[in-house]
Amino acid sequence: MSLIRLIYTSHAELDLRLSDIKEILTTARTNNHALDVCGMLFYNAKYFLQALEGEEQNVQSLFDKIAEDFRHEGVHIISREEITQPLFSDWSMGYTGNTVAVDDTLRSMDIDSDDLTQLNAQQCLTLLTKMGELQALDNVAEPS
């Protein structure tokens, strides 16, 4: 079985409310659990950044469905790589929104923009990993 990590960004087509994000997470967690896929989602009211990890066929199939979702456009794969072990296995789908920790992490990488499409693969992974680590410490995976 070949495991992969796929990271993508997209532009939010709609101004999503907290209830919309909760609905996305509920659906993602149910679907991802059934597919044995894990990951982390970041949404900053303009852009989505997401990592999906799991068996290659499952991740690709899931991504193909996500790419067709009407709530975003300009879906762009940042990276797609084989992995030996998932980084986000604590969640079927972790979540973070705009926080001071996100701003601090972006600043530490000398990034002064909320345009997530400008991040390279390593910057995306660093941001998502850092947010995942903070969630694990806080035991928080729900939008607030």
Identify the pLDDT of residue 138. Answer: 53
Tell me, yes or no, whether 47 lies in a domain: yes
The single-letter DSSP state of residue 1 is -
What is the domain-level CATH number for residue 75?
Answer: 3.30.70.100
- pLDDT per residue as tens, the chain (144 positions): 799 999 999 998 878 888 888 999 999 999 999 999 999 999 988 899 999 999 999 999 999 999 999 989 999 999 999 999 999 988 788 888 888 888 888 888 888 777 777 889 999 999 999 888 877 655 444 443
Handedness of CA 73, 132, 63, 31 (dihedral sign): negative
| Closest by Cα among 39, 62, 13, 66 to 124 | 39
Total domains present in the chain: 1
> 24-63 burial, b if ≥16 CB within 10 A, otherwise e?
bbeebbebbeebebbbbbbbbeebbbbbbbbeeebbeebb
Q: Does some domain include residue 144?
A: no
| Residue 143 forms part of a structural domain | no
Residue 20 CA to residue 42 CA, distance in Å, equals 14
- Residue 16: inside a domain: yes
Domain ranges, residue 13: 3-138
CA-based nearest residue to 51, from 22, 84, 24, 78: 78
Does residue 128 sit within a domain?
yes
Domain assignment of residue 40, yes or no: yes
Q: Does residue 61 sit within a domain? A: yes
Residue 44 lies in a domain: yes
